[in-house]
Structure 1
Amino acid sequence: MFTFFKKKNQVEDVEWLGVDMHSHLLPGIDDGSPDIEQSLDLIKQLSDLGFSKFLCTPHIFEELYPNDANTISSALNKVKYGLKTIDLEVDIDAAAEYMIDENFQVKEGLLCLPGKYILIEMSYLSESPGLDQVIFDLKILGYHVILAHPERYSFNHNQLSRYTRYKEMGVMFQLNLLAVCGYYGNEVKRVSEYLLENKLYDFAATDLHHHKHLRVLSSAITNGSLYKKLGNYDFKNKEIFS
């Protein structure tokens, strides 16, 4: 009786989310996976946890990670070839996570998730100067703007109305799954819970960089706690990116 009840009510995988639309799994081009061996191992383990599609989003940040279409496509091709060598069939592609700073240029041809969805980020300490104008200009060009991990921007933690302002500008929000696990600290967890309660998130993702992230995430998935926290939330990952 107990075993049957557990199987019926405890979800120990992440098939309900399905698509990981923000991660740093491509090898050697940012602060994520350092090499192809680690990339393949992370993807294999994430696949075992229930992810069926990966949209890798390496940083484009001129000061630290000056990536472009060539560096990203080269790393993606290495992963695709590596997946064939280990007979792992997963759907994988790449876009980018753009740092909005003085070097960012609004233009056609930016590296986007399917459907012209563009993932952006800021410094965790202060809002990017001119952010409103950047968002406006991106939308004029037909981009759908997704703000990565809004719960992590500490300058908003005591001014929660800022989040409503972003939404009024048409910005979509992406939750880091590790935030609700407390990985980034209690304040980030608190803000993520506020954004969840107010139905402000549109997507969720791992933002996975390394095995430490994977260990914490894997534990939350396999013990059923992640599904309990998030499984009934209406994330749009499958709807838009499957």
Structure 2
Amino acid sequence: MFHFFQKKLFLKDLLEGFVDIHCHILPGIDDGASNITESLDLIDKLTQLGVSQFVATPHVMQDFYPNTDETIGDAFQSLIEAVSSSSKLSNIVINPAAEYMMDEYFEDHVLNNNLFTLKKNIVLVEISYFQAPINLEDIIRKIKKHGYKPVLAHPERYLYYHNNKEYYHRLKQLGCDFQLNLLSLSDYYGTNVQKKAQYLIDEKLIDFVGTDTHNLKHIEKLTNIKLSKTLYKNLEPLIQETNHTFSVI
């Protein structure tokens, strides 16, 4: 018998109390929020989705966003002051971190033990969408040698790995965790990325999830993501693991 009125499952149903470990909410220092007003709007809309804790992860990318401890710290302090003054958002927890492009300058940050981590020794990293660094494996080894645990942001978005599925397993063997963008569960980045996100979840290669929110359009898309029963079931423990690992409450 067909169940025409079976309840629809939405991503937002899983996000109550979520710890968002990848978001661009710090004002004016990368391609996310451009000012305090936009930061507060993003935070407000994300809390309406259920997010209760944020790890702000501005890009550190030498050629485009050469952020430092000082630029991140100043933006974070400005945001905290604004949030503290808001009656709606005063209970929200925000901590600073960064999303590091693994470029030629990144190794200096590692060698100097100068990384803004997600928590303790866990560091969020990314690679170019056009081509992975030829010395990627060496960089990962150096990260681990210096006591850090790398988490690769949005592995599903690196199109050059889509026909080389074995390399995902290779990166995991090297000790690299994976963080999936929740937006990738929709067709926002394209259907190929959506399919690869599904594959990585099915293969149990994903460790953590985040929104990677840059703007209100992203949040609107997140709000309307529908999930199959199987995907809902497989995604729930990933969200729980993210919350368990990164919550500071």
The alpha carbon displacement at 1:12 in A equals 4.4
Q: What is the match of residue 57 of structure 1?
A: 57
1:181 and 1:63 mapped to 2: Cα distance? 30
Q: What is the match of residue 199 of structure 1?
A: 204
User: Is the CA contact 1:178–1:216 (under 8 Å) kept in the aligned structure 2?
Assistant: yes
1:139 and 1:154 mapped to 2: Cα distance? 25
Moved over 4 A (4+): 9-12
5 Å-filtered alignment, 1:67-216, equals 67-87=67-87, 88=89, 89-104=91-106, 105=108, 106-107=110-111, 108-216=113-221
TM-score, with structure 2 as normaliser? 0.88
1:56 and 1:16 mapped to 2: Cα distance? 19
The alpha carbon displacement at 1:73 in A equals 1.1
Single out whichever of 15-24 and 182-191 deviates more from structure 2: 15-24
TM-score, with structure 1 as normaliser? 0.91
User: Is the CA contact 2:180–2:206 (under 8 Å) kept in the aligned structure 1?
Assistant: yes
Pair 15,187 (structure 1): closer, same or farther in 2 beyond 3 Å: closer
1:137 and 1:92 mapped to 2: Cα distance? 29
User: Is the CA contact 1:14–1:51 (under 8 Å) kept in the aligned structure 2?
Assistant: no
The alpha carbon displacement at 1:237 in A equals 0.9
User: Is the CA contact 2:156–2:193 (under 8 Å) kept in the aligned structure 1?
Assistant: yes
User: Is the CA contact 2:18–2:50 (under 8 Å) kept in the aligned structure 1?
Assistant: yes
The alpha carbon displacement at 1:109 in A equals 2.6
- Unmatched 5+ stretches in structure 1: none
Pair 204,12 (structure 1): closer, same or farther in 2 beyond 3 Å: closer
Does residue 15 of structure 2 align to residue 15 of structure 1? yes
RMSD between superposed Cα atoms in Å: 2.2
- Unmatched 5+ stretches in structure 2: none
Corresponding pairs, count: 236
